[in-house]
Amino acid sequence: MKKRSIFLLTLTTLVLISLFLPTLSAQEYDFKTNYQITLNNDTSANWTIENRIKLETDSQENQFQKYLSNITETETNLFKDNIKAIVSTASNSTQRKMSASNFSLNGTIEQGITGTYGVIHYNFHWTNFTVIDNEKIKLGDVFVNGLYLSETDTLTIHYPTGYKIHSIDPEPTKIQDKELIWKGPNDFEPNNPEILLKHEETEKTTSIQKYGIIIALIITLSSATIYIYFNKFKKKNQNKTTKPEDYDNDLELILNILEESNGSIFQTKLVEKTGFSKAKVSNLLKKLKKEEKIKKIKKGRQNLIKLKK
């Protein structure tokens, strides 16, 4: 078993258990430890170290009950000093200001199917336990030299509502209802367990933005395609009966364009529709005017060409 310079919580627990076991060694007791860490969304965490000790005899039960009724400030201060030393070491290693507060020590005796158990809870609040960056909660750097769980130990980490797991190292023994559970024996590497949680709303917003951009691109491309198609269709229809090759001569072309335009059209439009030069159109109009098939009316700077009835 490796010894850790930080998070020697098992040792802390054993020291406290020994306070009410003056006549028996700790090894004669069947006890299990569950480290429960509840992560908050303000970088803090609430800790509960729960010891469940199987009380095999009336003598052990009496000793435990006597301990509970005689918990003094000395026992609480011993627990407080141990935790503060751990928090101080983590603060120095991570370069984050940390503190421990709201210490409490309490216990009870529980009757279960498998026997009688003495239960002790050691509670405290730890500030700056995690790091929050861009709505992501990061946990791991406080475990500077890792963490050791013995065969009867369990680590349970509760994470806040509104967050989902992005990555975990190592994989927990079990995941359930916002709880990550590791069972011993387990010898974690430095900075482990390492957990990254992402805010669910952030992921939804990112997805909405991503798909919103895709939808906008589709709409834009669709609109552009429709616009191009419509304009090609419009030009095709406009030019469908006015192509120069559809007529025997240029004069017939101009007369047909006039008929299609309800008998009148501006000279500049004729240039556009025929594809002829301005000079050619002007000469053709002079010929048609001389044949008295059209008349030319001055409209501002433009000439309006009309078929003669």
So what's the pLDDT on residue 185? 92
pLDDT of 6 above 60: no
- What would the pLDDT profile of 254-266 be if each residue is shown by its tens digit? 888 888 888 889 9
b/e for 210-230, b at 16 or more Cβ within 10 A?
eeeeeeeeeeeeeeeeeeeee
- What would the pLDDT profile of 33-46 be if each residue is shown by its tens digit? 999 999 999 999 99
Q: Which residues contact 104 (CB under 8 A, 6 or more apart)?
A: 76, 121, 122, 123, 124
So what's the pLDDT on residue 44? 96
Q: Please list the residue range(s) of the chain that carry CATH number 1.10.10.10.
A: 241-309
Q: Which of 102, 177, 167, 161 is nearest to 140 (CA)?
A: 167
Residue 261 Cα distances to 31, 92, 130, 222, 257, angstroms? 102, 89, 79, 33, 6
Q: Which fold has domain 241-309?
A: Arc Repressor Mutant, subunit A (1.10.10)
- What would the pLDDT profile of 98-109 be if each residue is shown by its tens digit? 999 999 988 999
Q: Which two tokens stand for residue 183?
A: 């069972």
Range of weakest confidence among 20-24, 48-52, 120-124, 159-163: 20-24
- What would the pLDDT profile of 206-251 be if each residue is shown by its tens digit? 544 555 566 655 655 555 555 555 555 455 555 444 454 444 578 8
Q: Please list the residue range(s) of the chain that carry CATH number 2.60.40.
A: 9-204
So what's the pLDDT on residue 35? 94
Q: SS in 3 state form for 40-91?
A: CCCCCEEEEEEEEEECCCHHHHHHHHHHHHCCCHHHHHHHHHHHHHHHHHHH
So what's the pLDDT on residue 48? 95
In the predicted model, what is the mean pLDDT of residues 286-291?
87
Strands annotated E in 128-266: 131-133, 136-139, 148-149, 153-158, 163-169, 174-176, 179-183, 186-187, 194-199, 264-266
- What would the pLDDT profile of 82-133 be if each residue is shown by its tens digit? 899 999 999 999 999 999 999 998 899 998 888 899 999 999 999 999 999 9
Domain covering 9-204 in this structure, CATH number: 2.60.40
Asked whether the whole model's pTM tops 0.75, one would answer no
- What would the pLDDT profile of 156-199 be if each residue is shown by its tens digit? 999 999 999 999 999 999 999 899 999 999 999 899 999 999 98
104 three-class SS: strand
So what's the pLDDT on residue 246? 45
- What would the pLDDT profile of 264-273 be if each residue is shown by its tens digit? 899 888 888 8
pLDDT of 67 above 60: yes
pLDDT of 50 above 90: yes
